[in-house]
Protein backbone atom coordinates (compact mmCIF):
# COMPACT_ATOMS: atom_id res chain seq x y z
CA UNK A 1 0.00 0.00 0.00
CA UNK A 2 1.49 3.34 -1.02
CA UNK A 3 1.32 6.43 1.14
CA UNK A 4 -1.30 7.99 -1.14
CA UNK A 5 -3.49 4.88 -0.91
CA UNK A 6 -3.27 4.92 2.91
CA UNK A 7 -4.13 8.61 2.79
CA UNK A 8 -7.02 7.94 0.45
CA UNK A 9 -8.40 5.55 3.08
CA UNK A 10 -8.09 8.36 5.59
CA UNK A 11 -10.02 10.65 3.23
CA UNK A 12 -12.73 7.99 2.92
CA UNK A 13 -12.89 7.60 6.73
CA UNK A 14 -13.20 11.37 7.06
CA UNK A 15 -16.12 11.41 4.59
CA UNK A 16 -17.77 8.41 6.27
CA UNK A 17 -17.40 10.01 9.72
CA UNK A 18 -20.18 12.44 8.80
CA UNK A 19 -17.92 15.43 9.50
CA UNK A 20 -17.74 16.26 5.82
CA UNK A 21 -20.67 18.28 4.58
CA UNK A 22 -19.19 20.69 2.06
CA UNK A 23 -16.97 19.21 -0.62
CA UNK A 24 -15.68 21.60 -3.27
CA UNK A 25 -14.43 20.11 -6.52
CA UNK A 26 -12.16 21.89 -9.00
CA UNK A 27 -11.77 20.31 -12.40
CA UNK A 28 -10.01 20.69 -15.73
CA UNK A 29 -9.61 18.97 -19.06
CA UNK A 30 -7.99 15.85 -17.53
CA UNK A 31 -11.37 14.59 -16.28
CA UNK A 32 -12.66 14.47 -19.86
CA UNK A 33 -9.72 12.84 -21.67
CA UNK A 34 -11.21 9.39 -20.93
CA UNK A 35 -14.33 10.58 -22.79
CA UNK A 36 -12.16 11.10 -25.88
CA UNK A 37 -11.70 14.86 -25.58
CA UNK A 38 -8.03 15.89 -25.68
CA UNK A 39 -6.70 18.16 -22.92
CA UNK A 40 -4.68 21.28 -23.73
CA UNK A 41 -1.20 20.87 -22.35
CA UNK A 42 -0.31 17.17 -22.32
CA UNK A 43 2.93 16.98 -24.32
CA UNK A 44 1.91 14.51 -27.08
CA UNK A 45 -1.87 14.35 -27.02
CA UNK A 46 -2.84 17.86 -25.89
CA UNK A 47 -4.62 20.26 -28.26
CA UNK A 48 -1.87 22.84 -28.03
CA UNK A 49 0.69 20.30 -29.30
CA UNK A 50 -1.56 19.45 -32.23
CA UNK A 51 -2.49 22.89 -33.49
CA UNK A 52 0.53 23.22 -35.78
CA UNK A 53 -1.60 22.50 -38.84
CA UNK A 54 -3.62 25.65 -38.13
CA UNK A 55 -0.60 27.95 -38.55
CA UNK A 56 -1.13 29.89 -35.35
CA UNK A 57 1.42 32.38 -33.99
CA UNK A 58 1.22 30.32 -30.77
CA UNK A 59 -1.25 27.57 -29.78
CA UNK A 60 -3.06 29.74 -27.21
CA UNK A 61 -4.00 32.15 -30.03
CA UNK A 62 -6.93 29.87 -30.80
CA UNK A 63 -8.56 31.19 -27.59
CA UNK A 64 -7.29 34.76 -27.96
CA UNK A 65 -9.98 37.37 -28.59
CA UNK A 66 -7.75 39.72 -30.57
CA UNK A 67 -6.56 36.90 -32.78
CA UNK A 68 -10.14 35.64 -33.20
CA UNK A 69 -11.23 39.07 -34.48
CA UNK A 70 -8.69 38.90 -37.28
CA UNK A 71 -8.87 35.15 -37.94
CA UNK A 72 -11.80 33.20 -36.43
CA UNK A 73 -11.33 30.13 -38.62
CA UNK A 74 -8.84 28.19 -36.43
CA UNK A 75 -11.23 28.39 -33.49
CA UNK A 76 -14.02 26.91 -35.60
CA UNK A 77 -11.76 24.12 -36.85
CA UNK A 78 -11.05 23.25 -33.22
CA UNK A 79 -14.68 23.71 -32.14
CA UNK A 80 -15.75 21.00 -34.56
CA UNK A 81 -13.67 18.50 -32.56
CA UNK A 82 -14.71 19.79 -29.15
CA UNK A 83 -18.41 20.41 -29.69
CA UNK A 84 -20.63 18.78 -27.06
CA UNK A 85 -23.08 16.09 -28.05
CA UNK A 86 -20.68 13.38 -29.17
CA UNK A 87 -19.17 12.59 -25.78
CA UNK A 88 -20.28 10.76 -22.64
CA UNK A 89 -19.46 11.61 -19.01
CA UNK A 90 -16.58 9.72 -17.39
CA UNK A 91 -16.40 7.86 -14.08
CA UNK A 92 -14.99 11.06 -12.57
CA UNK A 93 -18.03 13.08 -13.72
CA UNK A 94 -20.38 10.45 -12.33
CA UNK A 95 -18.50 10.41 -9.02
CA UNK A 96 -19.05 14.17 -8.70
CA UNK A 97 -22.75 13.63 -9.45
CA UNK A 98 -22.83 11.01 -6.66
CA UNK A 99 -21.41 13.58 -4.25
CA UNK A 100 -24.32 15.84 -5.17
CA UNK A 101 -26.97 13.13 -4.76
CA UNK A 102 -25.52 12.36 -1.33
CA UNK A 103 -25.83 16.02 -0.41
CA UNK A 104 -22.07 16.47 -0.07
CA UNK A 105 -21.27 18.66 -3.06
CA UNK A 106 -20.91 22.27 -1.96
CA UNK A 107 -19.66 23.64 -5.28
CA UNK A 108 -18.11 22.36 -8.49
CA UNK A 109 -15.79 24.75 -10.29
CA UNK A 110 -14.92 23.55 -13.77
CA UNK A 111 -12.70 25.00 -16.47
CA UNK A 112 -14.17 22.64 -19.02
CA UNK A 113 -16.31 23.82 -21.90
CA UNK A 114 -17.59 20.39 -22.87
CA UNK A 115 -20.81 20.52 -20.80
CA UNK A 116 -20.17 16.98 -19.50
CA UNK A 117 -20.95 18.07 -15.95
CA UNK A 118 -24.49 18.94 -17.02
CA UNK A 119 -24.67 15.76 -19.11
CA UNK A 120 -23.72 13.77 -16.00
CA UNK A 121 -26.71 15.25 -14.19
CA UNK A 122 -24.89 17.45 -11.69
CA UNK A 123 -27.46 20.11 -10.68
CA UNK A 124 -26.72 23.32 -12.57
CA UNK A 125 -26.93 25.45 -9.43
CA UNK A 126 -23.88 23.59 -8.07
CA UNK A 127 -21.78 24.13 -11.22
CA UNK A 128 -19.60 27.14 -11.93
CA UNK A 129 -18.41 26.99 -15.52
CA UNK A 130 -15.46 29.28 -14.94
CA UNK A 131 -14.46 29.41 -18.61
CA UNK A 132 -18.02 29.43 -19.96
CA UNK A 133 -19.30 26.73 -22.29
CA UNK A 134 -20.74 25.96 -25.71
CA UNK A 135 -24.26 26.24 -24.27
CA UNK A 136 -24.89 29.74 -25.70
CA UNK A 137 -23.34 32.02 -28.30
CA UNK A 138 -23.65 35.62 -29.40
CA UNK A 139 -22.31 38.30 -31.72
CA UNK A 140 -19.08 39.80 -30.34
CA UNK A 141 -20.14 43.28 -31.58
CA UNK A 142 -23.87 43.76 -30.88
CA UNK A 143 -24.16 40.80 -28.43
CA UNK A 144 -27.28 39.45 -30.13
CA UNK A 145 -27.81 35.79 -29.29
CA UNK A 146 -27.33 33.36 -32.16
CA UNK A 147 -29.69 30.37 -32.58
CA UNK A 148 -28.45 27.04 -31.30
CA UNK A 149 -29.48 24.91 -34.29
CA UNK A 150 -27.70 27.28 -36.70
CA UNK A 151 -24.62 27.13 -34.49
CA UNK A 152 -24.62 23.35 -34.58
CA UNK A 153 -24.76 23.42 -38.40
CA UNK A 154 -21.91 25.92 -38.68
CA UNK A 155 -19.72 24.01 -36.25
CA UNK A 156 -20.32 20.68 -37.97
CA UNK A 157 -18.97 22.27 -41.16
CA UNK A 158 -16.25 24.27 -39.34
CA UNK A 159 -17.81 27.43 -40.80
CA UNK A 160 -17.61 30.83 -39.11
CA UNK A 161 -21.09 32.04 -38.10
CA UNK A 162 -22.02 35.72 -38.57
CA UNK A 163 -24.61 37.77 -36.69
CA UNK A 164 -28.15 37.41 -38.06
CA UNK A 165 -29.15 41.00 -37.18
CA UNK A 166 -29.59 43.16 -40.27
CA UNK A 167 -26.51 45.28 -41.06
CA UNK A 168 -24.42 43.79 -38.25
CA UNK A 169 -22.60 40.71 -39.62
CA UNK A 170 -20.39 40.62 -36.53
CA UNK A 171 -18.52 37.45 -35.65
CA UNK A 172 -20.42 34.97 -33.51
CA UNK A 173 -18.56 33.32 -30.66
CA UNK A 174 -19.73 30.79 -28.06
CA UNK A 175 -19.80 32.12 -24.50
CA UNK A 176 -16.40 30.59 -23.85
CA UNK A 177 -13.96 32.75 -21.94
CA UNK A 178 -11.07 33.67 -24.22
CA UNK A 179 -7.78 35.15 -23.06
CA UNK A 180 -8.32 38.92 -22.47
CA UNK A 181 -11.94 38.28 -21.44
CA UNK A 182 -13.43 38.44 -17.97
CA UNK A 183 -14.63 35.29 -16.27
CA UNK A 184 -18.40 35.01 -15.72
CA UNK A 185 -19.55 37.02 -12.70
CA UNK A 186 -20.80 33.74 -11.19
CA UNK A 187 -17.17 32.70 -10.68
CA UNK A 188 -16.59 35.74 -8.45
CA UNK A 189 -19.99 35.39 -6.76
CA UNK A 190 -19.16 31.82 -5.77
CA UNK A 191 -15.42 32.06 -5.12
CA UNK A 192 -16.07 32.32 -1.35
CA UNK A 193 -17.74 28.88 -1.35
CA UNK A 194 -14.19 27.46 -1.32
CA UNK A 195 -13.50 29.24 2.00
CA UNK A 196 -16.09 27.15 3.79
CA UNK A 197 -15.15 23.77 2.30
CA UNK A 198 -14.36 20.91 4.63
CA UNK A 199 -12.77 18.88 1.81
CA UNK A 200 -11.45 19.89 -1.62
CA UNK A 201 -10.91 17.62 -4.63
CA UNK A 202 -8.74 18.96 -7.47
CA UNK A 203 -8.99 16.84 -10.61
CA UNK A 204 -7.40 16.83 -14.07
CA UNK A 205 -6.02 20.34 -14.28
CA UNK A 206 -2.52 21.73 -14.78
CA UNK A 207 -3.49 24.85 -12.76
CA UNK A 208 -1.72 27.02 -15.33
CA UNK A 209 -4.51 29.51 -16.01
CA UNK A 210 -5.41 32.28 -13.58
CA UNK A 211 -7.57 33.20 -11.78
CA UNK A 212 -8.87 29.60 -11.65
CA UNK A 213 -5.39 28.37 -10.68
CA UNK A 214 -5.60 30.22 -7.37
CA UNK A 215 -8.86 28.55 -6.28
CA UNK A 216 -7.11 25.78 -4.31
CA UNK A 217 -5.45 28.58 -2.31
CA UNK A 218 -8.91 29.73 -1.18
CA UNK A 219 -9.30 26.51 0.77
CA UNK A 220 -8.28 26.99 4.43
CA UNK A 221 -4.86 25.46 5.23
CA UNK A 222 -6.24 22.90 7.70
CA UNK A 223 -8.75 21.52 5.17
CA UNK A 224 -7.59 18.42 3.25
CA UNK A 225 -7.08 18.90 -0.48
CA UNK A 226 -6.92 15.77 -2.63
CA UNK A 227 -5.30 15.94 -6.07
CA UNK A 228 -6.34 13.40 -8.71
CA UNK A 229 -3.98 14.13 -11.60
CA UNK A 230 -1.30 12.58 -13.79
CA UNK A 231 1.23 15.04 -12.37
CA UNK A 232 1.71 17.18 -9.31
CA UNK A 233 0.42 20.73 -9.92
CA UNK A 234 0.19 24.11 -8.22
CA UNK A 235 0.81 24.08 -4.48
CA UNK A 236 -0.93 20.73 -4.00
CA UNK A 237 1.20 18.64 -1.68
CA UNK A 238 2.47 21.63 0.31
CA UNK A 239 -0.13 21.43 3.10
CA UNK A 240 0.18 18.78 5.80
CA UNK A 241 -3.22 17.28 4.97
CA UNK A 242 -2.90 17.36 1.17
CA UNK A 243 -3.21 13.97 -0.51
CA UNK A 244 -1.69 13.33 -3.95
CA UNK A 245 -3.35 10.61 -5.99
CA UNK A 246 -1.11 10.63 -9.04
CA UNK A 247 -2.28 8.68 -12.06
CA UNK A 248 -5.38 8.80 -14.18
CA UNK A 249 -8.27 10.32 -12.30
CA UNK A 250 -10.85 7.62 -13.05
CA UNK A 251 -8.54 5.06 -11.41
CA UNK A 252 -8.03 7.34 -8.41
CA UNK A 253 -11.75 7.99 -8.09
CA UNK A 254 -12.51 4.25 -8.27
CA UNK A 255 -10.04 3.67 -5.41
CA UNK A 256 -11.77 6.32 -3.33
CA UNK A 257 -15.16 4.82 -4.21
CA UNK A 258 -13.86 1.40 -3.09
CA UNK A 259 -12.72 2.84 0.21
CA UNK A 260 -16.11 4.52 0.67
CA UNK A 261 -18.08 1.39 -0.23
CA UNK A 262 -19.61 3.28 -3.17
CA UNK A 263 -17.94 1.37 -5.98
CA UNK A 264 -20.90 -0.75 -7.13
CA UNK A 265 -23.22 2.23 -7.12
CA UNK A 266 -20.66 4.28 -9.06
CA UNK A 267 -20.20 1.65 -11.77
CA UNK A 268 -23.96 1.10 -12.05
CA UNK A 269 -24.66 4.81 -12.41
CA UNK A 270 -21.88 5.20 -14.97
CA UNK A 271 -23.19 2.33 -17.12
CA UNK A 272 -26.69 3.81 -17.32
Binding region for Zn(2+): 139, 142, 163, 168
Binds ligand OAD by CB under 6 A, chosen from 46, 84, 121, 170: 46
Binds ligand OAD by CB under 6 A, chosen from 231, 237, 238, 268: 231
| Cα→Cα distances 78→60, 111, 149, 191, Å | 12, 17, 19, 30
Binds ligand OAD by CB under 6 A, chosen from 24, 61, 96, 177: 177
Region for residue 183 given its phi and psi (left: phi exceeds 0; alpha: psi -120 to 50; beta: otherwise)? beta
Q: Is 106 in the site for ligand OAD (CB under 6 A)?
A: no
- Catalytically annotated residue among 93, 106, 131, 154: 131
Binds ligand OAD by CB under 6 A, chosen from 4, 100, 107, 111: 111
Q: Which is nearer to ligand OAD, 122 or 198 (CB)?
A: 122
**Would you mind telling me the total number of residues written for the chain in this entry?**
272
Q: Which is nearer to ligand OAD, 41 or 152 (CB)?
A: 41
> What sections of the chain are H helices per DSSP?
3-16, 65-70, 73-82, 91-101, 116-119, 148-156, 185-190, 215-218, 249-260, 263-271
Q: Is 229 in the site for ligand OAD (CB under 6 A)?
A: yes
The string of DSSP letters for 178-239 reads -BTSPPPHHHHHHGGGGGG-SEEEEES----STTGGGHHHHS-TTS-EEEEESS--TTTT-S
Binds ligand OAD by CB under 6 A, chosen from 41, 152, 162, 263: 41
Is 131 assigned a catalytic role? Answer: yes
Task: Give the catalytic positions in this structure.
Answer: 131
Which positions lie near ligand OAD, rule CB under 6 A?
28-30, 33-34, 39-42, 46, 63, 111, 113, 131, 176-177, 204-206, 208-209, 229-231, 233, 248-249
Amino acid sequence: VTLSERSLDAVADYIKSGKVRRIVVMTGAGISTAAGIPDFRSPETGLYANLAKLNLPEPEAVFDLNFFKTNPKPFYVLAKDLYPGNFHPTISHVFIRMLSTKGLLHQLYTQNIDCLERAAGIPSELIVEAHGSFANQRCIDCKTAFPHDLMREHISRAEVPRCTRPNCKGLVKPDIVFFHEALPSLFYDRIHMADTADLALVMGTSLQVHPFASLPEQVPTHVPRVLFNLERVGSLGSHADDVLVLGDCDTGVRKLADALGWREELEAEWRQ
